[in-house]
Amino acid sequence: MALGEYEGGLGEEFFTPGSSSFTEFLAAHRPGLLSTRRVLPDGVRAEGVPHGTTVLALTFGDGVLIAGDRRATMGNLIAQRDLEKVHPADDHTAVAFAGSVGLALDLVKLYQVELAHFEKIEGIPMTLAAKATRLATMIRGNLAQAMQGLAVVPLLAGYDPAGPEGGRGRIFGFDVAGGRYEKFGFHAEGSGSPYARGALKKLYRPGMTRREAALAALQALYDAADDDSATGGPDLTRRIYPVVSVITEDGFERLTEAETERLSRETVEQRRTRPDGPNAAV
């Protein structure tokens, strides 16, 4: 019998006072439906589980850009070459992930429902800061599994209409215990993140155009793939390119395959003459 279903009607749980959190509603009435709350048997650690690797975000003049490579690894093997690691959470927010792929995809879907449920119950959308706090709470619910090797580390980016002009793109990073940290300018997560952040340190500047931000993101992912075997670079042969999306006042937009391919090929062509990437602007 489905949640609350009895003789064709809604169960009592739907009429029980509670918060506007869909996750808390499930935890109270059907905790078995929450994959992020299930714990492995004592002494068991997850091995050989597909992992997503490098994702990043950076602000630009009109908002914020969020991107990720496409590779998932399973130990020393490539588990998938075209994984989608960047997803819209609502019209003005996106989430990308590194970590255990199965749990991460469940977390993203649950988070999308969480934001929609809140807006239906309260009649207004959450603020961007509240969205980040709610995601941190959901990550904390996965702590037991994270300690057994099934960690999920998301990256949240959004457009905040309440922010100052030119600073409405915001980025939040998290740790496996649910710690929430606002990042300024740019940030990256995953196994290739040290190399991606290093590239963005020299390429990022405030007020970039959308095209400049997209090229900086692709250069950073290229550097990550160059030094981290778990991160996949642009695959010109298979025509598999990073996912690049922007969030502005107009909402979430994923760059088209044609635009991403064009920018990826431009990045690869630049590396033919400068394998270590472009110099920092001075």
Strands 86-90 and 93-100: antiparallel
DSSP H or E run through 269? helix 257-273
In order of 9, 12, 16, 27, the CA distances from 4 in angstroms are 8, 7, 11, 14
Sorted by sequence, the CB contacts under 8 Å of residue 41 that are 6+ apart come out as: none
The residue from 23, 36, 53, 260 that is catalytic is 53
Residue 164 burial (CB < 10 Å; 0-12/13-18/19+)? exposed
Which of 155, 138, 137, 150 is CA-nearest to residue 245? 155
53 part of the active site: yes
Q: Which residues are known to be catalytic?
A: 53
